[in-house]
């Protein structure tokens, strides 16, 4: 019993470590006021449910018009209007009747219900300013590359990431030159739905 609990804890820590491969945003110095898990799931969003060590219980699919998803053993579960973490906790409670100490992960793989609000935008001195759909795990570098990279007139190390949260608007400095030229990923933050990345032009 103790060994099983320890293995579950190790597995969960590995999942969390994998999600943190790029720096996240923290309030104040390195930023993270809003994480994708704060997003409320909507109808047509694609969700992936995984149960550690029980792959047969996993499922991936869209949220139905009634706001529910169907999961093996437990049946229909309300997902619409809830965060992925809330749904995961609900599933863990329900699955505990069938699985010993279930570890459930719920991931949004595609945001369809709030597609416009969930886009990530890149503006300023980039080759092609873009508005692109948010994808799980997307970083500043991913978004800038989707915009074709910076122009010869850019001041990349004065770039910034702008994010709206419940406490207002926040701007975080991005050393884009360091990311592109020397591979320093310190400020290659994970982006969240609705983020705007700006790359200013250098002063001539």
In this prediction, residue 23 carries a pLDDT of 58
Q: How many CB atoms lie within 10 A of CB 80?
A: 19
Above 70 in pLDDT, residue 96?
yes
CATH class label, 119-199 = alpha beta
Which one has a higher pLDDT value, 134 or 60? 60
* Residue extents of the structural domains in the chain: 30-110, 119-199
- CATH, range 30-110: 3.30.1950.10
pLDDT in tens, 145-182: 999 999 999 999 999 999 987 677 889 999 999 999 99
pLDDT of 26 > 70? The answer is no
Average pLDDT, the chain: 83
- pLDDT > 70? residue 33: no
40 vs 45, 47, 87, 112, CA distance in Å?
10, 12, 10, 12
Whether residue 163 contacts residue 172, with contact meaning beta carbons closer than 8 Å, is answered with yes
Predicted confidence at residue 1, as pLDDT, reads: 42
Question: What pLDDT score was predicted for residue 27?
Answer: 39
Beta strands in 52-103 (DSSP E): 59-62, 68-71, 75-78
User: According to DSSP H, which parts of the chain are helical?
Assistant: 2-19, 84-95, 140-146, 176-177
Instruction: For residue 31, name the pLDDT band (cuts at 50, 70, 90).
Output: low
CA distances from 170 to 18, 120, 152 (A): 26, 15, 27
- Residue 172 contacts residue 33 (beta carbons within 8 Å): no
Quick check: 11 pLDDT over 60?
A: no
Q: How many CB atoms lie within 10 A of CB 193?
A: 21
**Tokens 């998803």 appear where?**
69
Q: How far apart are CA 48 and CA 78, in angstroms?
A: 14
């Amino acid at each position: 019993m103790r060994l099983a609990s320890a293995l579950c804890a190790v597995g969960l820590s590995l999942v969390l470590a994998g999600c943190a491969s790029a720096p996240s945003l923290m309030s104040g110095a390195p930023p993270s006021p809003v994480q994708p898990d704060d997003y409320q799931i909507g109808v047509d969003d694609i969700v992936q449910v995984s149960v550690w060590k029980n792959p047969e219980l996993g499922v991936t699919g869209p949220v139905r018009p009634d706001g529910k998803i169907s999961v093996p053993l437990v049946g229909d579960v309300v997902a619409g209007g809830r965060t992925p973490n809330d749904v995961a906790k609900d599933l863990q409670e329900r699955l505990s009747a069938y699985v010993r100490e279930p570890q459930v992960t719920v991931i949004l793989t595609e945001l369809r219900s709030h597609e416009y609000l969930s886009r990530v935008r890149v503006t300023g001195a980039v080759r092609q300013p873009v508005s692109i759909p948010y994808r799980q795990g997307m970083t500043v570098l991913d978004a800038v590359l989707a915009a074709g990279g910076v122009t010869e007139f850019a001041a990349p190390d004065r770039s910034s990431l702008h994010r709206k949260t419940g406490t207002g608007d926040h701007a975080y400095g991005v050393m884009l030159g360091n990311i592109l030229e020397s591979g320093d990923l310190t400020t290659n933050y994970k982006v969240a739905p609705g983020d705007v990345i700006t790359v200013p032009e250098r002063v001539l």
